[in-house]
Amino acid sequence: MKVNEPAELLAMAQRGSRVGLARLLTYVESGTRRHRESVALAYQHQSPYVLGITGAPGAGKSTLTDRLIATGLNVGDCGNPLEQIGVLCVDPSSPITGGAILGDRIRMQEHASDERVFIRSMATRGHLGGLSQAVPDALRVMGAAGFSMVLVETVGVGQMEVQIASAADTTVVVMNPGWGDAMQANKAGLLEVADIFIINKADRAGVRETRRDLEQMLDMGQQRPWRPLILETVATSGTGIDAAWVAVNEHREFQSSSGQFDVRRRDRARSELTRVLTIAVRARVDVVAEGARYDAQLSALIEGHTDPYAAAEALLELA
Ligand SMILES: Nc1nc2c(ncn2[C@@H]2O[C@H](COP(=O)(O)OP(=O)(O)OP(=O)(O)O)[C@@H](O)[C@H]2O)c(=O)[nH]1
Ligand SMILES: [Mg+2]
């Protein structure tokens, strides 16, 4: 029999059922009553450690993610190999969602059949708040299911991508040798949210120049307690991956020892709450902006018996 109850599905997911977890994530994307039920359960559990990986299409994020998964499973966090790793592939430009593979974007074949690895794609803009709300909810569901670490691959360097990437505990920005990438990342505001820069495809020419450009942009930007690290990798061969993993752990340790971890999680909770509040208020406006009471205020305004401010206050029952 098909299980539909979020509580039951979560219990299944906690026992290792990928089907249970997948169904909960489908609820999260749907924005329905089941979404709310799932989220209510999920937020009773810890958030996983979120490693965000973002960058222009084709930069090598998936190849890199695949390598990082292997390192995470072998080396783990401070010498404790991770039992399982979750991966969320987010593509704001694609309409395909669910377990579906986003075209050829997922190059994580090595782990596609590894039962310690759970990979999920998300692309829907389906419900209120869209991806920017579905992603944090999905991460919480994965945390509740028992994942202590989730890698989030986000395609692109637009506003939405930056927003999603910056919701990570550690944000990695992947670029390639050549002047264009660094400039594009800078324009998109990725310089401010990056904790680690990875110059991938370091087997190509222009690595030194890209590093220099990045250093210069960082010098010119606002100085933060953590100066982003700049690393070089060749994801296809695995060169530099161990160092990248060490850098992630270094950043993680810096955050715990400096108190930045709590500051960031607090900021994240605040922006999530504000976003949901904005959506809720907006929905209330839609309700108030129609019907007899609204028409009455509108007529009063047109006839000169009220002004827009008084009318709005009356409609919101503030006055
Ligand atoms: N030469 C070289 N090619 C690489 C390297 N890393 C990845 N590639 C290749 O670059 C292409 C894109 O790699 P992906 O890992 O799919 O890149 P992505 O950033 O995930 O791509 P999207 O998800 O489509 O944005 C593939 O053909 C990879 O084999 C590298 O270090 N050197
Ligand atoms: Mg990819």
Distance in Å, CA 139 to ligand 2 centroid: 18
Distance in Å, CA 63 to ligand 1 centroid: 6
Minimal CA–CA distance to 89: which of 70, 74, 104, 110?
104
Share above pLDDT 90 across residues of the chain, in percent, rounded to a whole number: 57
What mean pLDDT comes out for the span 256-282?
Answer: 90
- Read off the tokens for 316: 């919101």
Domain boundary among 258, 282, 304: 258
Q: How far apart are CA 290 and CA 192, in angstroms?
A: 42
Q: Which amino acid is at 104?
A: D
How deeply is 154 buried, as exposed, middle or buried, from its count of CB atoms within 10 A (0-12, 13-18, 19+)?
buried
Task: Round to the nearest angstrom and report the end-to-end CA distance of the chain.
Answer: 54
**Residues around the ion ligand 2 (C-beta < 5 A):** 61-62, 105
Residues with CB under 6 A from ligand 1: 57-63, 105, 107, 155, 200-201, 203, 234-236
Residue-number span of the structural domain to which 77 is assigned: 46-258
- CA quadruple 64, 65, 71, 77: dihedral positive or negative? positive
What mean pLDDT comes out for the span 185-189?
Answer: 76
Pairing assessment for the beta strands 85-90 and 117-122 based on DSSP bridges: parallel
C-alpha angle 260-263-264 in degrees, rounded to nearest 5: 85
Please determine, for residue 275, whether its predicted confidence score (pLDDT) is greater than 90.
no
* Residue 34 belongs to some domain of the structure: no
Please determine, for residue 164, whether its predicted confidence score (pLDDT) is greater than 90.
no
Q: How far apart are CA 169 and CA 261, in angstroms?
A: 7
Ramachandran class of 23: left when φ > 0, alpha when ψ lies in -120 to 50, beta otherwise = alpha
Please determine, for residue 281, whether its predicted confidence score (pLDDT) is greater than 60.
yes
The ligand 1 atom at the shortest distance from the C-alpha of residue 107 is 16
Q: Whose CA is nearest to atom 9 of ligand 1?
A: 60
Instruction: Specify whether 196 is located in the same domain as 303.
Output: no
Q: Could you tell me how far CA 88 lies from the centroid of its own chain?
A: 8
Please determine, for residue 134, whether its predicted confidence score (pLDDT) is greater than 60.
yes
* Model confidence band, residue 94 (pLDDT cutoffs 50, 70, 90): low
User: Are 85 and 72 contacting, i.e. CB atoms less than 8 angstroms apart?
Assistant: yes
Instruction: Specify whether 189 is located in the same domain as 231.
Output: yes
- Read off the tokens for 150: 């989730």
- CA quadruple 59, 61, 62, 67: dihedral positive or negative? positive
Instruction: Specify whether 226 is located in the same domain as 294.
Output: no
* Residue 32 belongs to some domain of the structure: no
Instruction: Specify whether 308 is located in the same domain as 229.
Output: no
- How many CA atoms lie less than 13 Å away from 261 in the CB half-sphere? 16
Window from 5-9, 171-175, 178-182 with minimum mean pLDDT? 178-182
Q: Whose CA is nearest to atom 25 of ligand 1?
A: 57
Share above pLDDT 70 across residues of the chain, in percent, rounded to a whole number: 89
Q: Provide CB contacts within 8 A for 72, sequence distance 6+.
A: 81, 82, 85, 149, 245
Give me the DSSP letters along 124-183.
Answer: ---STTHHHHHHHHHHHHHHHTT-SEEEEEEEB-SHHHHHHHTTSSEEEEEE-SSHHHHH
Instruction: Specify whether 174 is located in the same domain as 292.
Output: no
Please determine, for residue 193, whether its predicted confidence score (pLDDT) is greater than 50.
yes
Q: What is the pTM of this model?
A: 0.88
Distance in Å, CA 62 to ligand 2 centroid: 4
Q: Whose CA is nearest to atom 30 of ligand 1?
A: 201
How many domains would you assign to the chain? Answer: 2
Please determine, for residue 255, whether its predicted confidence score (pLDDT) is greater than 60.
yes
Instruction: Specify whether 167 is located in the same domain as 296.
Output: no
* Residue 56 belongs to some domain of the structure: yes
Tell me the average pLDDT of the chain. Answer: 87
At residue 113, φ and ψ (nearest 5 deg) are -110, 10
Minimal CA–CA distance to 20: which of 7, 30, 29?
7
